[in-house]
Amino acid sequence: MHLSLRPASQDDEEFLFQVYAGTRAEEMAVVPWNDEQKHAFLQMQFKAQTQSYQQQFPGAKHGVILHDGVAAGRLIVDRADERILIIDIALLPAHRNKGIGSALIDDLKTEAQETERPLQLTVENFNSAFHLYERLGFHKIGEQGFYWLMEWEPIKRAKTA
């Protein structure tokens, strides 16, 4: 498995929408709307999320995840303060459960260890990804509504005199 990231661009907007829509597929399956209504709703939500991320995290890096050279998902990371914050990590359904998310998070844990900064993310308390994050060493440090803030802490190095 070869993973890489490339910066997201305006040309990726439709792909990024498809990734977003894939994260909402289960939810959309149970609403009594036609496909056009679902698409319009998802477009509205995607645009709102995109604007919110840009306002809250103006320095965040937006990347397209490439799995063996094929666009597989998105990763948004903010390194603006004393932490590394995973704002969003999402994969198209066909690329899930293949170790891609775990590998990317392991890379970010390595960066966090090298820079001695905590790695944080938020997850909905009903999202099954919560268990993945626990297996990867994250623990809950706070909550806001149905979102939990989770953190992985680097091992502190001994200071030499």
- Give domain status of residue 15, yes or no: yes
Strands (E), 92-146: 119-124, 139-144
- Going by C-beta distance under 8 Å and a sequence separation of 6 or more, which residues neighbour residue 42? 17, 20, 21, 24, 28
Per-residue pLDDT at 161: 55
Q: Is 86 exposed, middle or buried, given 0-12, 13-18 or 19+ CB atoms closer than 10 A?
A: buried
Reduced to 3 states (helix: H, G, I; strand: E, B; else coil), residue 84 is strand
Per-residue pLDDT of 85-106, as tens digits, reads 999 999 999 999 999 999 999 9
- Give domain status of residue 157, yes or no: no
Domain total of the chain: 1
- Give domain status of residue 161, yes or no: no
Percent of the chain whose predicted confidence (pLDDT) is above 90: 86
Reduced to 3 states (helix: H, G, I; strand: E, B; else coil), residue 118 is coil
Q: In which domain, by residue range, is 130 found? A: 3-152
Per-residue pLDDT of 4-47, as tens digits, reads 999 999 999 999 999 999 999 989 999 999 999 999 999 999 99
- Give domain status of residue 119, yes or no: yes
Per-residue pLDDT at 125: 85
Structural element, H or E, at residue 78: strand 70-78
- Give domain status of residue 25, yes or no: yes
Per-residue pLDDT at 126: 85
Read off the pLDDT band of 120 (50, 70, 90): very high
Strand order of the sheet with strand 84-91?
A: 3-7, 61-67, 70-78, 84-91, 119-124, 147-152, 139-144
- Give domain status of residue 158, yes or no: no
Residue 114 sits in a domain of what CATH number? 3.40.630.30
Q: Which of 73, 158, 75, 85 is nearest to 119 (CA)?
A: 85
Q: Which is higher by pLDDT, 135 or 160?
A: 135
Per-residue pLDDT of 46-65, as tens digits, reads 999 999 999 999 999 999 99
Read off the pLDDT band of 158 (50, 70, 90): low
Q: Is 138 exposed, middle or buried, given 0-12, 13-18 or 19+ CB atoms closer than 10 A?
A: buried
Percent of the chain whose predicted confidence (pLDDT) is above 70: 97
**pLDDT averaged over every residue in the chain:** 94
| CA distance between the termini of the chain | 43
